[in-house]
Amino acid sequence: MIKPSNDIIQPLPVGQRRIVLVTGPSGAGRSSALNVLEDAGFEAIDNLPLRLLPALLDGQPQPHSVALGIDARNRDFSANGVLDLMGKLSERAEMVVELLYLDCADDVLLRRFSETRRRHPLAPQDRPADGITREKEMLGPIRARADVLIDTSGLNVHQMREEVERWFAPGGTHQLSVSVQSFSYKRGLPRSVDIVHDCRFLRNPFWEPTLRALNGTQADVADYVAQDPLFVGFSQKVLELSALLLPAFRDEGKSYLSIAFGCTGGQHRSVTLAEHHALHLADQGWRVSIRHRELDRQHPKEA
């Protein structure tokens, strides 16, 4: 049975690490669940042989949370091996070990294999139904020990994401990472950018001799750009657009969104707007990173 709702996983004490073992029959959604956990901040590792997991977890430095995909196709897989591994890891005081089991009805699994035209890994020469039966029999003891059991039979991709996040994501909600960056139109648009705002209509500090060598991270330049009569209206409208779109993208399941501000040289106006926008998004609780493409080229950061 699935844990009751009042047992939804809480933040761990400082010094402890969360290890989530993810398994279930082929086709039930293990890979999708690992993707959700990775988006939630876990280091996700799939299909690693059981004998290698202890050595992996002993390595340094270690992330706070790790999600490990356990696949019945592994050469050294066995129900007893998984349960023994859980027992050994649970004995370590610095680890909180949990087993997430993704289950699915036989007829739904059979339909999924039929739709994808894939052979079942445990019955490559036989009917998929035979492989489903064998795998479920093999996984029975593990299913009985599950800390969290999610039946994906009637769930679409978005519903499954919500269910996994309810148990494992911070606060039980999906986290959207936002990248805000500045760039120069002379060097072209940044790759894979989602939203672009053109700042070239604002007053340009380049034509002020005392400001030309400065950049938009500095107060004199930011103040100069902000004195443009269109600055307040433009920056406010852009924030309102983000306030509308970011929750929608998050709810749709998007994990990463990039917002870019461009100007002619990528040094003054776009930098000022990117800094202004990123600061306001961070104040609103969004997880934000910032990059100034042209400034980074001029002053590369140390590795």
Three-state SS annotation for 118-133: CCECCECCCCHHHHHH
Element containing residue 51 per DSSP (H, E): none
- The position carrying tokens 């959207």 is 176
Phi, psi dihedral angles at 275 (to 5 degrees): -60, -45
| Higher per-residue confidence, 186 vs 13 | 186
Q: How far is CA 257 from CA 179, 241, 285, in A?
A: 6, 13, 15
pLDDT at 9 exceeding the cut of 50: no
- Sheet of 43-46: strand order equals 43-46, 65-69, 17-23, 95-103, 148-151
Q: What is the mean pLDDT of residues 271-276?
A: 97
120 with 26: CB under 8 angstroms?
yes
**33 — pLDDT class (breaks 50, 70, 90):** very high
Closest CA to 187 of 259, 291, 260, 264: 264
Statement to judge: residues 26 and 151 lie in one domain? yes
Domain housing 249: 177-298
CATH number at residue 164: 3.40.50.300
Q: Does 260 reside within a domain?
A: yes
Look at the pTM and tell me if it is higher than 0.85: no
Statement to judge: residues 15 and 142 lie in one domain? yes
3-state DSSP of 197-263: EECCCCCCHHHCCCCCCCCCCCHHHHHHHHCCCCHHHHHHHHHHHHHHHHHHHHHHCCCEEEEEEEE
pLDDT digits (tens, 9 = 90+) for 79-125: 888 888 888 888 887 788 889 999 999 888 888 877 766 666 665 66
**244 — pLDDT class (breaks 50, 70, 90):** very high
Q: Does 111 reside within a domain?
A: yes
Q: What is the mean pLDDT of residues 285-295?
A: 89
Q: What is the mean pLDDT of residues 138-162?
A: 87
Q: What confidence score (pLDDT) does residue 216 get?
A: 95
Taking the alpha carbons at both ends of the chain, their separation in whole angstroms is: 48
Statement to judge: residues 167 and 185 lie in one domain? no
- The number of folded domains in the chain is 2
103 with 25: CB under 8 angstroms?
yes
Q: What confidence score (pLDDT) does residue 161 get?
A: 86
Q: Which stretches of the chain are assigned E, i.e. beta strand?
A: 17-23, 43-46, 65-69, 95-103, 148-151, 177-184, 195-198, 256-263, 287-292
Q: What is the mean pLDDT of residues 46-50?
A: 82
Highest mean pLDDT among 38-42, 113-117, 249-253: 38-42
Q: Does 253 reside within a domain?
A: yes
Q: How far apart are CA 74 and CA 54, in angstroms?
A: 16
Q: What confidence score (pLDDT) does residue 5 get?
A: 36
**126 — pLDDT class (breaks 50, 70, 90):** low
Of the listed ranges 3-7, 66-70, 283-287, the least confidently predicted one is: 3-7
pLDDT digits (tens, 9 = 90+) for 229-241: 999 999 999 999 9
> Of the candidates 128, 155, 172, which is a domain's last residue?
172
pLDDT at 264 exceeding the cut of 80: yes
Residues 6+ apart with CB under 8 A from 21: 68, 70, 82, 85, 86, 97, 98, 99, 100
Q: How far apart are CA 265 and CA 174, in angstroms?
A: 36
pLDDT at 6 exceeding the cut of 50: no
Joined tokens for residue 235: 């920056």
**155 — pLDDT class (breaks 50, 70, 90):** confident
**3 — pLDDT class (breaks 50, 70, 90):** very low
Phi, psi dihedral angles at 98 (to 5 degrees): -135, 150
pLDDT at 4 exceeding the cut of 70: no
Q: What confidence score (pLDDT) does residue 272 get?
A: 97
Q: Does 244 reside within a domain?
A: yes
Statement to judge: residues 131 and 197 lie in one domain? no
Joined tokens for residue 265: 């040289």
261 with 182: CB under 8 angstroms?
yes
Statement to judge: residues 154 and 9 lie in one domain? yes
Phi, psi dihedral angles at 167 (to 5 degrees): -95, -35
Q: Is the peptide bond before 61 cis (omega within 30 degrees of 0)?
A: yes
Q: What is the mean pLDDT of residues 20-28?
A: 90
> Of the candidates 126, 141, 172, which is a domain's last residue?
172
pLDDT digits (tens, 9 = 90+) for 158-193: 888 888 888 887 665 667 889 999 999 999 998 778
Q: Does 64 reside within a domain?
A: yes
292 with 274: CB under 8 angstroms?
yes
pLDDT at 62 exceeding the cut of 70: no
Q: How far apart are CA 142 and CA 137, in angstroms?
A: 10
Joined tokens for residue 161: 């994401």
